[in-house]
Amino acid sequence: MSTIGKDHLSVDVLIVGAGVAGITAAIEAQQQGVDVLLVTKGAFGRDGAATWTSGYGFQVAANPPDSPEIHFADTLKVGRFMNDQRLVHRLISEIIRQHRNLDEWGVRYLKENGRYVMMRLPGESHPRVPRLTIPGEWAGQEYRRSLTRQVKKRSIRVIEDLFVFDLIATRDGIAGAVGLDLRKGTFLVIQAKETILATGGHMGSYRTTTIPQASGDGTAAAFRAGVTLTDLEFADFYAYTAIWPPVTVGEIWPSVFRYELNGKLLNRLGEDLREKYRGPERVPPLAIEREVKAGRGSPHGGAYLSIRHNLREEIDRVFARMGHPKWLKRLQAMRFDVVEQDIEVAPAGIVSFGGCRVDENCATGTLGLFAAGEAGASREGAYTNAGNSLPLCMAMGAIAGREAGRRAKKQNHHIPVNGKVEELCDRALGPMLRDRGVRPIQLRRTIQEILAGYGSLIGRNEQRLTEGLEKISQIKKSDLEDMCVTVKDKTFNLEWREALEVRNIADVAELILTAARARKESRGLHYREDFPKEEKSWLKHVVLKKDGEKIDITTEPVTFPYLSPPES
């Protein structure tokens, strides 16, 4: 029996996660006239959400001759036709509506003669990213400001610092969720007619990441609750993450060099990687990894991102338009001249594409559960274009919220919460009750090392993936069971929160390696040394589901209701 207090709450629609998907879901669900609760493990508007840190782009086909049809086709092409076409078709039209909302809610878009001023990012048939009237690096804050203001304006109930660790799975479907209220140090059981998982992705499972807090909590909880998952082998690693000079490590502003100044990716010998590589390997993260492994990387383990081929006046003009960003001032202060000296970049985890399998309503197939944003799969397929994740995640939130609201309105009772809640709380409390064992931080690092060593981008092969899986399985059997939180104070115990995250990271790492081993071809950034080609016969999803202590693995063919993949 758990020895700490439990509070109970009952709502119509529970939304777990307050990133772009969760916030949009909450707004749309509330519009259906139901009682909505939005919860997040951090501070509302300032946590998790990748949007808040960069927000370089938001693709929307708002200027003809661009159109939703062309946006749809571009999304499929870069996704290597692994996207769920019915879902994406619906999302692309929804993006237009959500973008109109953003405009109405005060995002400061730059317009000329009534048309959005657009910029073009790689992979777009037409310029599709609306510029803002403020410097680009503030875009994330701009979206955050507009969206969080709407939540406040509509008096949507928000609970912060609530770490949801499990879904309450019953024979009749998902009855809600259970979380740790970090402020009080007590558990909170939330009964909901419909639950939406909007917990973001799992790129924090990797050692090199732009978003450490993305520990795949929703995906892992869904897996434990028996929900079907898919596409876990696919993810995006951002090639233009700074690794040198040191004051810039982990930042992604080098996108400015790539997109606005046509930056060149060069190896130690000065070879242009985009010219050197062809086919699937041309994708920048793969090309960088390959060069580093071959000993031709830049001194700090990446590649150079060079803008020297531009005239200084052109570079100055771009920086002036951006309002002379803070990172530039920092570099200038240390006498680093970006025109004369090349910065170094390397791939880091940024967006995950796998998660709960959902239909075009973002329903998971398990009654009472929806998934939106990065917690839901098959929106981007095997790979993505810069600036497409944010709008697709937002559109998923809108659709899930609307549909969950409609369904909740028709139901006049909640699914009874079963005795399982006690078991879930006991498990969550376990690391607090142990006096000795492995610390969560140690275990997090070990799992990240395993993913880096056995499941990294270009190193995937049958043998290494199998070894990685054995190591993770060993950790799950022994170390995870021994995990111990050294600080025993219950309120705001961040080590306890970390222990809960580490359990999720362990589950997610196992799912990633399992899916990567099952896919015997290369597609997107999933590159198998032993199966280096993209195979038409592999236009199928790897589908994973919990089966007792094992993972049931099946495949399901991708369908092409709108657009067929090219013959070659």
Ligand X SMILES: Cc1cc2nc3c(=O)[nH]c(=O)nc-3n(C[C@H](O)[C@H](O)[C@H](O)COP(=O)(O)OP(=O)(O)OC[C@H]3O[C@@H](n4cnc5c(N)ncnc54)[C@H](O)[C@@H]3O)c2cc1C
Point out which residues bind ligand X (CB under 6 A).
16-22, 39-42, 47-51, 53-58, 162-164, 198-200, 210-211, 214, 217, 252, 350-351, 373-374, 387-390, 393
The alpha-carbon radius of gyration of the chain (Å, integer) is 23
Which phi-psi region, left, alpha or beta, contains residue 129 (left: φ > 0; alpha: ψ -120 to 50)? beta
* C-alpha torsion 475→476→482→488, nearest 10: 110
Compute the CA torsion angle 469, 378, 120, 125 (nearest 10 deg).
120
Q: Which is nearer to ligand X, 58 or 187 (CB)?
A: 58
Tell me the closest approach of the beta carbon of residue 508 to ligand X, in angstroms: 12
| Minimum CB–partner distance for residue 25 and ligand X (Å) | 9
β-strand partners of 412: none
Shortest Cβ 529–ligand X spacing (Å): 27
Sole residue written with tokens 């973008």? 99
Q: Using CA of residue 87, residue 89, residue 92, residue 96, what is the dihedral sign?
A: negative
Quote the least distance from Cβ 149 to ligand X, whole Å.
16
Would you say 160 or 291 has its CB closer to ligand X?
A: 160
Nearest residue (CB) to ligand X, 207 versus 517? 207
β-bridge mates for residue 229, sequence order: 356, 544
**Angle ∠(291,277,523) on CA atoms, nearest 5:** 95
φ/ψ of residue 369, rounded to 5: -130, 125
d(CA 325, CA 331): 10
From the CB of 224, what's the least distance to ligand X, in Å?
Answer: 12
Rounded CA gap, 22 and 125, in Å? Answer: 30
**β 6-16/186-197 pair status:** parallel
Give the residue with the Cβ less far from ligand X, 58 or 538.
Answer: 58
Look at residue 555 and give its three-state secondary structure. Answer: strand
Q: Is the N-terminal amide bond of 65 cis, ω within 30° of 0?
A: yes
200/222 Cα distance (integer angstroms): 13
The residues near 132 (Cβ < 8 Å, ≥ 6 apart) are 107, 108, 109, 110, 138, 139, 142
Closer residue to ligand X (CB): 53 or 93: 53
The residues, any chain, with a CB within 8 Å of residue 171's CB and separated by 6 or more, are none
Q: By C-beta, is 220 or 415 nearer to ligand X?
A: 220
Q: Residue 19 or residue 302: which is nearer to ligand X going by CB?
A: 19
What is the chain's length?
568
Give 291 or 380: the residue with its C-beta nearer to ligand X.
Answer: 380
How, if at all, do strands 115-116 and 111-112 pair? Answer: antiparallel
Closest CA to 227 of 172, 164, 174: 174
Nearer to ligand X, 189 or 351 (CB): 351
In the complex with ligand X, the residue whose CB is nearer, 163 or 304, is 163
Minimum Å gap between C-beta 212 and ligand X is 10
CA distance 375 to 369: 12
Q: Judged by CB, which is closer to ligand X: 36, or 350?
A: 350
Which has the closest alpha carbon to 219: 209, 229, 211?
229
CB of 536 to ligand X, least distance (A): 28
d(CA 536, CA 530) in angstroms, rounded, equals: 17
CB distance 71 to 121 below 8 Å: no
Nearer to ligand X, 265 or 377 (CB): 377
CA–CA dist 385, 107 (Å, integer): 22
Q: Cβ of residue 473: shortest distance to ligand X, in angstroms?
A: 23
3 state DSSP class of 548 = coil
Q: C-beta of 276: minimal distance to ligand X in Å?
A: 27
Chain centre to alpha carbon of residue 308: 33
Identify which of 405, 373, 388, 424 has the alpha carbon closest to the alpha carbon of residue 199: 373
Question: What's the closest the beta carbon of residue 42 comes to ligand X, in angstroms?
Answer: 4
Nearest to 398 by CA among 415, 381, 414, 376: 376
Shortest CB 83 distance to ligand X, Å: 15
Beta carbon of residue 338, minimum distance to ligand X (angstroms, whole number): 20
Residue with smaller CB distance to ligand X, 56 or 72 = 56
CB of 50 to ligand X, least distance (A): 3
Tokens standing for 537?
A: 């016969």
Question: How far is the C-alpha of 521 from the C-alpha of 518, rounded, in Å?
Answer: 9
Nearest approach, Cβ of residue 219 and ligand X (Å): 10
